[in-house]
Amino acid sequence: METPATAYLDEPHTPMLTEHPEPASGLQSPEPDTTTAAEKGVIEKQPVSRRRRLWRWIAFGCGALLAVALILGLALHFALLRRFDAPPVTTTKTPGSVVNTWVGGPVVASNFADPAFIEVNGIYYAFATNKYVNPHPGQVNIQIAVSTDFSTWNLMDIDALPHVGNWSTGSYVWAPDVVQLDDGTFVMYYSARHAIKLKRHCVGVATSKNITGPYTPQAQPVVCPLSAGGAIDPDGFHDADGSRYLIYKVDGNSLNNITGTTNPTPLMLQQVSSDDGFTLIGGPTQLLDRTKADGPLIEAPSMMRSTSGNSSVYVLFFSSNVFTTWHYDVSYATSTTGVKGPYIRSSQPLLQTGDDSGRLFGPGGLDVGVGGQKVVFHSGYDGHSIVRQLWTGEIAVDNTTVYI
């Protein structure tokens, strides 16, 4: 049956679509974007797993804790320095006068630990522990530095003590001191490891007609209390009445790892012959021992006698605590009743970490000259004690108080 023509007139008109239809109002429609994200260089965000998020938080937390620990550590470091810092005194008023005191250094930049000095014919000679942390082939046992003005010092390329006594292994030669007898002979006291008791030191003696040596050692040690831990840090003292003394430390802390306790480390005074400087007269006298505030030890004694009017004051310098820490210092005690004491401690150290505008670290081993004014000591380099440099200074004594 044929469809009537009028039927087409009743149906709505639907235009035919072409492949690219023309947009209305003459505008061209954008083409559909078929470029992939990878082709555009865009990295699609992938969903993060719960485990990965957990590790991210752990890493973030660890970093934050490390940052906080670093900040707290720095704050504690500077707080401790401020706590133990005593401002240096540059001038000291004594009765009727003003005495200049000072600290200067380092005057020897290399390792020059446990120094002692002596003035001979207007020239200053300083002696020190060997410069090696451990024994070294061809080592210099005792170093020497020389100065004509006490400010500029030069190391000498010699060993003052090429050989130690047969009683020693020849290693760990420490803390020398040199005195001059009335006949012009120079006597060197030193400490070194014992040949049998390898972990302990004894005090030896050597002599020379020349200040720079070479010094010839005696065959036997002069002081060797092995059962008490040995002896180190000898210092010679010549009193006004002509008597001579040897002061040393009993090295009791060398036994601490063996006994499991903190042993005494007394400073001892031993009279010696004025003729040779080392023959013992009588027995030793204890001058001072450590207290709780000193940590495990006191050491490095040096003595002077000061006269104020008709009275005499004996000043005993020493170091306390451990030289590898910033607690190490120079302290002193005084006696107004004679060389044998009793000695009364000063209320505060003479030198400590942070002094000299923060330049000193663990200052110690102070040695005072015959005149009782010039001193030498060592101080750690750059905040540690691996290198202990030589420093110099001048002190003043007013009754029982020492200033620097």
Two structure tokens written together for 378: 């060592």
Helical (H) or strand (E) element with 154: strand 154-155
**Do residues 389 and 379 lie in contact, with contact meaning Cβ atoms separated by under 8 Å?**
yes
Give the mean pLDDT of the chain. 84
40-52 per-position pLDDT tens digit: 444 444 555 676 6
Q: Average pLDDT, stretch 330-344?
A: 97
Least confident among 5-19, 204-218, 377-391: 5-19
Two structure tokens written together for 294: 């000193």
DSSP 226: G
Q: How many residues does the chain have?
A: 404
**Higher confidence at residue 197 or residue 154?**
154
Q: Is the pLDDT at 22 greater than 60, yes or no?
A: no
Instruction: Give me the DSSP letters along 284-331.
Output: -EEEE---GGGTT-EEEEEEEEEEETTEEEEEEEEEES-TTSTT-EEE
**What is d(CA 367, CA 175) in angstroms, rounded to the nearest whole number?**
10
Helical (H) or strand (E) element with 75: helix 50-83
**Higher confidence at residue 76 or residue 174?**
174
- Between the alpha carbon of residue 194 and those of residues 40, 166, 167, 231, 316, the distances in Å are 81, 9, 6, 10, 27
Least confident among 25-29, 207-211, 250-254, 341-345: 25-29
Cis amide bond preceding 176, omega within 30: no
Instruction: State the pLDDT confidence band at 69, using cuts at 50, 70 and 90.
Output: low
**Do residues 107 and 390 lie in contact, with contact meaning Cβ atoms separated by under 8 Å?**
yes
Two structure tokens written together for 329: 């210092």
339-362 per-position pLDDT tens digit: 999 999 999 999 999 999 999 999
147-189 per-position pLDDT tens digit: 999 999 999 999 999 999 999 998 899 999 999 999 999 999 9
Closest CA to 295 of 262, 324, 269: 262
pLDDT at residue 260 in the model: 81
Closest CA to 117 of 142, 140, 145, 141: 145
**Higher confidence at residue 9 or residue 361?**
361
Q: Average pLDDT, stretch 105-123?
A: 97
**What is d(CA 148, CA 393) in angstroms, rounded to the nearest whole number?**
15
pTM listed for this prediction = 0.76
Closest CA to 126 of 157, 155, 159: 155
Enumerate the β-bridge partners of residue 249: 232, 267
Closest CA to 353 of 317, 328, 371: 328
